[in-house]
Each structure stands twice: as structure tokens, then as C-alpha cells.
């Protein structure tokens, strides 16, 4: 066989043996997130620095939500429970954070009962309307009070986004809560190292 005909085959074989370059997270370089100071479900003042060095799941919603928010919180909690079993070392480095977009009703006490229902490590954060508006803006989250309902209650219209942030508070990816816990756990494993 002619050696010149083998050269292209050898080059293909060498390329095939090279490891694939690491994937770039879909939100790498996005201007999402930033410093904040809020109140946790135990009434303590906490800042973003309290979560430094850990991956964060950032979800914005409200406890009086009749459908989407509790469904998404349950999905996040179930995904973390799956990671607790399948990859406990990774799971320990993840903090699920539920930030209210309804600070008027979501007091620390209300948030504590809500987050405890979904995962023991889920943190609930609230604050003044100005604090919540600032953190919502930093994460590109829309929220606005809806029409008053019969009985005096109201809904809150808001965007539905679940962010996975890295230990340096940089965005990595959106978590597909609408696809269920397995999809969320798989996406976390894909980007959290």
C-alpha cells in the first residue's frame, strides 16, 4: 500500500483520539446576577457572599402562586434529592434559593414553611420592595402585581426562569424545570464540576 494514501487515514485517527474541547455553558459571559442583601427564612440578613464557593439554583416566584411556583419548587427539590442519592459530593455544593417576587406577603415565616416543604436545604429570601426589585432586575426577572381576585387576594405576574450559577456567582445555564426533576438533575451534572 502506498504510504501517501495512509497519511490522511493517520491524520483522521489522530484527530479522533483527541479529547473533545470542553463545552461552554450556554449562559457563559451573560450579564445575569450580581450582589444582593436580603432576608432569609429565619429572619437573618444575608448577602450573595454567604453563598460564595457553592453552586446556586436561583428561582424567582411567590408562595401564594396557585400552580407554577410550587410545581417548579417541587421539581427543584426532587432534582436535588436525586443528586443527594446519585452524587452526594456534588449535591452538598449546591444551594437552592427561592427569591420571592411578592415581599408584601412572603414574610420569612411564610417562606420558611414553603421552602421546607420542598427540600431541607432550600433557602427562601425576601426583602423590601426596593431590594426585591433590584435583585429581580439583576437577574432579568419581570414581576408585577396582577388584578385583585375575589376575596381581596391577587396574583403576581412574573417570568419563569431557573438559573444555575457557578461558585463565583456567574451564570452557567437555565434549568429545565418544565421537563421534570431528571432533566434538571442532568443539566446540573452537565455544568457543575
Task: For residues 165-193, give the mean pLDDT.
Answer: 97
Percentage of the chain exceeding pLDDT 70: 89
Task: For residues 125-136, give the mean pLDDT.
Answer: 97
Task: For residues 143-161, give the mean pLDDT.
Answer: 89
Q: What predicted TM-score, i.e. pTM, was given to this entire model?
A: 0.88
β strands within the chain, DSSP E = 37-40, 45-47, 55-61, 94-100, 123-126, 143-148, 154-158, 162-165, 171-174
Angstrom distance (rounded) from CA 23 to CA 190: 9
Q: pLDDT tens for residues 18-58? A: 666 678 999 999 999 999 999 999 999 999 999 999 999 99
Are 36 and 47 in contact by the 8 Å Cβ rule? The answer is yes
Q: pLDDT tens for residues 87-100? A: 999 999 999 999 99
Domain ranges of the chain: 31-146+153-191
Task: For residues 157-163, give the mean pLDDT.
Answer: 94
Backbone angles phi, psi at 158, to 5 degrees: -155, 160
Higher pLDDT, 150 or 124: 124
Lowest-pLDDT choice from 6-15, 27-36, 153-162: 6-15
Percentage of the chain exceeding pLDDT 90: 83
Are 192 and 80 in contact by the 8 Å Cβ rule? The answer is no
Identify the pLDDT of residue 33.
96
Angstrom distance (rounded) from CA 107 to CA 55: 25
Are 158 and 142 in contact by the 8 Å Cβ rule? The answer is yes
Position 67 pLDDT exceeds 80: yes
Chosen CATH of 31-146+153-191 out of 3.40.30.10, 1.10.10.410, 3.40.50.620, 3.40.1280.10: 3.40.30.10
Amino acid at each position: 500500500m502506498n504510504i501517501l494514501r495512509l497519511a490522511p487515514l493517520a491524520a483522521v485517527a489522530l484527530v479522533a483520539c483527541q479529547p473533545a474541547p470542553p463545552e461552554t455553558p450556554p449562559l457563559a459571559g451573560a450579564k445575569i446576577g450580581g450582589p444582593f442583601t436580603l432576608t432569609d427564612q429565619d429572619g437573618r440578613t444575608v448577602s450573595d457572599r454567604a453563598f460564595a464557593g457553592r453552586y446556586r439554583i436561583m428561582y424567582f416566584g411567590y408562595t401564594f402562586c396557585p400552580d407554577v411556583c410550587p410545581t417548579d419548587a417541587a421539581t427543584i427539590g426532587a432534582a436535588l434529592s436525586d443528586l443527594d442519592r446519585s452524587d452526594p459530593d456534588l449535591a452538598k455544593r449546591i444551594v437552592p434559593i427561592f427569591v420571592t417576587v411578592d415581599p408584601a406577603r412572603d414574610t420569612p415565616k411564610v417562606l420558611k414553611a414553603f421552602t421546607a416543604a420542598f427540600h431541607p436545604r432550600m433557602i427562601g429570601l425576601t426583602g423590601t420592595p426596593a431590594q426585591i426589585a433590584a435583585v429581580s432586575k439583576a437577574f432579568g426577572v419581570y414581576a408585577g402585581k396582577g388584578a385583585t381576585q375575589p376575596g381581596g387576594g391577587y396574583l403576581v405576574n412574573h417570568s419563569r426562569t431557573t438559573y444555575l450559577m457557578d461558585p463565583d456567582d456567574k451564570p452557567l445555564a437555565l434549568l429545565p424545570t418544565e421537563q421534570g426533576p431528571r432533566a434538571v438533575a442532568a443539566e446540573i451534572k452537565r455544568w457543575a464540576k
